[in-house]
Structure 1
Amino acid sequence: MQPKDLLQLSEQFGSPLYVYDADKIKSQYNRLTKAFSKVEKLRINYAMKALSNVAILQLLEGMGSGLDTVSIQEVQLGLHAGYAPERIFYTPNGVSLEEIEEVNALGVQINIDNLSILEQFGAKHPNVPVCIRINPHVMAGGNANISVGHIDSKFGISVHQLPHLVRIVENTKMNIVGIHMHTGSDILDIEVFLYAAEILFDAARHFKDLEFLDFGSGFKVPYKKDDIETDIEELGKKLSKRFNEFCTEYGRNLTLIFEPGKFLVSEAGQFLAKVNVIKQTTSTVFAGIDSGFNHLIRPMFYGSQHHIENVSNPKGKERFYSVVGYICETDTFANNRRISELKEGDILSFKNAGAYCYSMASNYNSRYRPAEVLWMGGKGHLIRAHETFEDLLKNQFPLPVQEKV
C-alpha cells in the first residue's frame, strides 16, 4: 500500500483505523511453509490471539492454516469462521477443568499445561487424545512479558516434572498424542529454537504413540529499517534436518507444528490516526493524535517501537516530534522521533500494527474502538465497523428504580 492509498482509506472509513494487507499475510504464510518444505508433515496453526477478526481467520483458513487458540471463545470464533474442529488446537493456561471439558465436547485438540488438570482430565476422559505442554526452562523472548519458557514461568509442565507426568499418564492410561512447547516471542537466535528442540525431543521419547510435536513460535519480525529478524530460511534448513532425523529414530513420521501469530500478521497491519494538535513546549514539540493506548498499547506495555510515517506529507522535511495520545494518562507512542513535518489534520501511519494491537484494544476513557479494513485486490474492505455510543451501552443496565420510603 502506498501513502496515497492509506490517505484514501482514512478519508473513506475515518480515523483511527486499522488496515491489513492480505497479500503480506499470504506471503508470510508461504514463506514459512517453503522454509520447512523438506518436512513431510507440516502444519501451521495461526495463533489467533494476535489478530482475531473473523475475516482474517477466513483468509488463513483458505490457505490451509489451522488455528492455535487459548480460550473457549477463540475456539467458538474459529468454528464460526469455518474451521473444522480437528484443525483447531486449544492451549489454555489457568482455566478450569469445566472449560477444558466444554472445549473437548466441541471436538478440538486439547493441550494441557499443568499436572493437576492433566490428572483430573485423564481420570475422567482416558480415551481423549491429549497434547502436553512442557516448560523447557529456556529463557527466550524480546521482553519479560513475552518470555514464557523460563523456570519461573506460569506456562507448561516443567521438564523436571517428567517422571511425575509419566506416572499420571500410566495411572490414568490416557491417550497422549503430542508434546508442545513455546519459549517466547521476538526470538533472534535460531540456536535457541534448536536447543529447545532437543529438550522437546527428549520429552517425546517418554511417549511411544505420539502423532505430532508442536514447537510453538516466537519468530521475530523487523520493526524498523535494518532491524534484525529471525532467519526463517536458516531455521527451516537446520530444524527440518534434525526433525527428520528424530522421526527416523522414533520410528514414525510425526507432524511438525508451528503456531505463528506475529510472524503472519504483524507487518501486514498499519494503524492510521489523525493529528489533532501540534503543541510546542519549551523543550518538546508534541503531536497529539485521535488515539491512545486504548487502541495501540504495545509501545507503552512492551516498549515496542513502531515506525511512524506522515502519509499526508511523506516526502516533507523531517522534524522531531513526540507523538502522544488523548488518554488521561501518559500514553506516549514515540519520543523525539524524526517524522516528515506535521500539521494539524495530517494522517499518521504506525507500521507493524497487525499483531497484538487491535486485539488488545479497550474502551478506556469510554472511547470507541476503531474500525478494521482488509486491503485486498487493490481495494479496502470493511471487516469491522467503528464502535458507537450504543455499543458502549449495549450490556449496561440503569440503576433500578428505588421505592419511596
Structure 2
Amino acid sequence: MENVLSHAQLLAVAEEYGTPLYVYHEDKIVSQYQRLVKAFNNEKVRFFYACKALTNINILKVLKAQGCNIDCSSINEVKLALHVGFDPKNVLYTSNGIDFEEIETARSLGVIINIDSLSNLKKFGQKFGSSYPVGVRLRPNIMAGGNLKISTGHDKSKFGIPVDQLDQLLDIISQHQINITNLHIHTGSDIKDVDVFVKGIEVLFEIIPHFPNLKSIDLGGGFKVAYKEDDPAIDIEALAASVLETFASNELTKDLQIWFEPGKFLVSESGYFVTKVNVLKETSATTFAGVNSGFNHLIRPMFYDAYHRIANLSNPQGEEKEYTITGNICETDTFAWSRPLPEVREGDLLVFYNAGAYGFEMSSNYNSRFKPAEVLITNGSARLIRKRDVFEDLLRGQLVD
C-alpha cells in the first residue's frame, strides 16, 4: 500500500503526544486527490471534498492547497470552509431536513446550494425566485453502498426529492421561476460497483430536458476504500472512463460539468488511531484486551459493524494469538472479536488503520472521557493539530447558579 506510516513512525509520535491519538498522513491525502485528478483528466470534472468525514481545519487547508473544492452538510461546515479561505464559489452546501434559516444563511454567504425537499424549495422560490441559482438533490431509488445504514438513494431513504415527485418539483420551479443549475444524486457509501454511477446518470437522462438552465450533474461520492488486505475497492480509473463515456454519449450531458463529492476516499487511509492496552482479561470464551479508548473515540465498528485492521505496534514479532479488543467506557464497545494479533501485553500500543474518516469526527465526551489529540505528519514531520481535552473542556458551556 502506498504512503503508509511505519510502526516506528507511529510509535515515535505516540511517545511524543500520548494515547489515544489520531494521526493523519498528509502525503496519503494528497496522493488520493491526485489520483482522482489524473484518472478523470477533464476540465469539466470538479471534486468537492465531503468534509463531514474530517473537518479539522488543517486537513481542509491541505485539500484547499491542492485545488480541491469542498462539500458541506451543515452551515457550520460552510463557515469552517470559508474560515480557512475557500472561495464561496467553490463551497457546496447540500441541506438535509434543516431549518430554512440555514439555507438563507448559505445564500447570504454566496455559496453553491443544493436543496433536498419540496418544502424548502418552495420557501426558497417564494423568497428568492430566480435571483439566485440553486441545485436540487434527487432520490434516484437505487440501492447502493456497504449496508442499509450508509445507503442513501433507495426508496425508503430520507435523502433527496424522490424522482417520482418530478411533477410536483416542476410545478414549484415553474410557479416561482426558480433557476435550477445543478441536479444532485448520491446513492450511498462504500460503493465498489462503477455501474451504480452509470445507472444514476441514466436515471437523469429522462429528467434533464425539464431543466433548461442546467450547468452540472452532481453524482455524489461514496467511493469504496479497502479496509482489509484483500478488500475490494472501487476502480477509480474504470469509474472515470465509464462516467466520461456515458456523459459524452448523450447530447443532453456532453457539455455539462460533472461533480463528485469524495470524503472517505480522500482521508480514510490517511488516518491511524493509536491506543494503549490497559488490561488483559482471560476468560473461558476469549482473551479481552481492553484499550484506553471506546466508541466515544471510534464508533464505526459498533455503529456500522465496520472492520478496521489492527496491528500491535509494540510487539509485531510476537506469537500470534486471538484477542477481543474492547474499550474502557461503561457500554459494550467491542472493536473486534477474536482478532489474530501478535502477542498483546498490558502497555502495548495497538493501531487501528483506516481511521481518517468518521473517526474523530464522530467522537464524543461520553462517560466524561476526554477527546483525543490529533497529529498531522507532513514530509515526515509531526505537528499537533488538535490538543487533547483537559478537565476544563468538560465544563465549557455549563452554567451554575
TM-score normalised by structure 1 residue count:
0.96
Residue in 2 that maps onto 1:195 = 199
Is it true that 1:274 corresponds to 2:312 in the alignment?
A: no
Describe the SS at the equivalent of 1:44. strand
Shift of 1:269: 0.4
Is it true that 1:171 corresponds to 2:171 in the alignment?
A: no
On the 8 A contact 2:297/2:360 being kept in 1, the answer is: yes
Cα deviation digits, residues 262-316 of structure 1 (max 9, x gap): 0000011010000001111122111000000000000000000000000111222
Which of 119, 132, 138 is 2:136 aligned to?
132
Distance (whole Å) between structure 1 residues aligned to residue 15 and residue 40 of structure 2: 42
Residue in 1 that maps onto 2:158 = 154
Is it true that 1:394 corresponds to 2:399 in the alignment?
A: no
Shift of 1:237: 0.7
Is it true that 1:52 corresponds to 2:50 in the alignment?
A: no
- State percent identity of aligned pairs: 53
Is it true that 1:346 corresponds to 2:348 in the alignment?
A: yes
After TM superposition, list the pairs within 5 Å mapping 1:6-405 onto structure 2. 6-37=10-41, 39-126=42-129, 127-246=131-250, 249-250=251-252, 253-398=255-400, 400=401
Describe the SS at the equivalent of 1:162. helix
On the 8 A contact 2:263/2:357 being kept in 1, the answer is: yes
Shift of 1:252: 6.5
Distance (whole Å) between structure 1 residues aligned to residue 75 and residue 113 of structure 2: 11
Distance (whole Å) between structure 2 residues aligned to residue 316 and residue 197 of structure 1: 51
On the 8 A contact 1:180/1:200 being kept in 2, the answer is: no
Shift of 1:119: 1.0
Distance (whole Å) between structure 1 residues aligned to residue 105 and residue 8 of structure 2: 48
AA partner of residue 284 (structure 2): T
Distance (whole Å) between structure 1 residues aligned to residue 189 and residue 59 of structure 2: 21
Cα deviation digits, residues 120-150 of structure 1 (max 9, x gap): 1012101111001000000111021110100
Describe the SS at the equivalent of 1:205. helix
* Residue correspondences, number: 396
AA partner of residue 100 (structure 1): I
User: Cα RMSD over matched residues?
Assistant: 1.0
Q: Deviating runs (4+, > 3 A) in structure 1? A: none
C-alpha distance 251-316 of structure 1, shift in aligned 2 (>3 A): closer
Distance (whole Å) between structure 2 residues aligned to residue 352 and residue 91 of structure 1: 26
